[in-house]
A and B are shown apart, each in its own frame.
Chain A
Amino acid sequence: DVKVTQSSRYLVKRTGEKVFLECVQDMDHENMFWYRQDPGLGLRLIYFSYDVKMKEKGDIPEGYSVSREKKERFSLILESASTNQTSMYLCASVWGLQPNTEAFFGQGTRLTVV
């Protein structure tokens, strides 16, 4: 079974702190994604990566950065957390070489910024 693991289920951080959300997948997937999910807005794409050290901005990249130093790990970084970044964060991965395969999700990290 493909496994996508997010490092924390719940996180509470203070405004201004630097926050790292980690995502690890064990199926050698090329493509990895970070989304945030807010009521009424669905899943919005923050950043995605199609290979090690490669990244692309999604629809709402402001206030975030990412790092992909190894194929299995994709990190989302909040440089200076703000209260409007309180949200559920979901990581997903998909096999890039096979075009018609589904994305697999981590369990999500509920981040609260106070």
Chain B
Amino acid sequence: EDKVVQSPLSLVVHEGDTVTLNCSYEVTNFRSLLWYKQEKKAPTFLFMLTSSGIEKKSGRLSSILDKKELFSILNITATQTGDSAVYLCAVKSNFGNEKLTFGTGTRLTIIP
């Protein structure tokens, strides 16, 4: 069974802090790893990672994948209250047909 584990489950930091969210996985026929941000309703896409060691960056957010150690991290620098959300990690695998498996998510709360 494919498995995606995120840590920590919950994180509370002050505005301006830097945070690192973790995602480890065990899947058959890995295709890609995706990060999503979920505020109130539908998750919104952040990054897709397919190759090890190549950092993806968007503003204050960045992410990197390690396919040897089977994990990814999502960094957020200079956090703002608008970063408060649940961050979801998902892994796309293909064993005959494409499957998308999610972790439990990390709930990030930014205190002003």
Q: How far is the CB of B64 from chain A (nearest CB, A)?
A: 16
Interface contact B88-A96, CB-CB below 8 Å: no
A94 to B48, CA, bound (A): 13
Distance A45 CA – B32 CA, assembled complex (angstroms): 17
CB of A35 within 8 Å of the partner chain: yes
The answer to whether B42 and A108 touch across the interface, beta carbons within 8 angstroms, is yes
Residues of B with C-beta under 8 A to A102: 34, 45, 48
From A99, which residue of chain B is reached at the shortest CB distance?
Answer: B31
- Of residues 14 through 35 on chain B, the ones whose CB sits less than 8 Å from some CB of chain A are 31-32, 34
Task: Give Cα A48 to B95, complex, Å.
Answer: 13
Docked complex: A39-59 residues within 8 A CB-CB of B: 40-45, 48, 50, 54, 56, 58-59
With beta carbons under 8 angstroms apart, the residue of B1, B42, B94 that contacts A90 is B42
In Å, the complex CA distance between A96 and B31 comes to 12
A61 at the interface (CB under 8 A from B): no
Assuming the A-B contacts A99-B31, A100-B32, are A43 and B102 also in contact, with contact meaning beta carbons closer than 8 angstroms in the complex?
yes
Q: How far is the CA of A82 from the CA of B37 in the complex (A)?
A: 30
Report the bound CA distance from A100 to B104 in whole Å: 22
A-B contact pairs, 22 of them (CB 8 A): A35-B102, A40-B9, A42-B6, A42-B102, A43-B102, A45-B101, A48-B97, A50-B98, A56-B97, A59-B101, A90-B42, A92-B100, A94-B92, A94-B98, A94-B100, A100-B32, A102-B34, A103-B90, A104-B45, A107-B41, A107-B42, A108-B41
**Residues of B near any A CB (own CB < 8 A):** 1, 6, 9, 31-32, 34, 41-43, 45, 48, 50, 88, 90, 92, 94, 97-105
Interface residue ranges, A against B (CB under 8 Å): 4, 31, 33, 35, 40-45, 48, 50, 54, 56, 58-59, 90, 92, 94, 96, 99-108
Give 10 nearest A-B pairs by CB, closest first. Answer: A42-B104, A43-B102, A105-B42, A50-B97, A102-B45, A107-B41, A42-B105, A107-B42, A105-B43, A31-B98
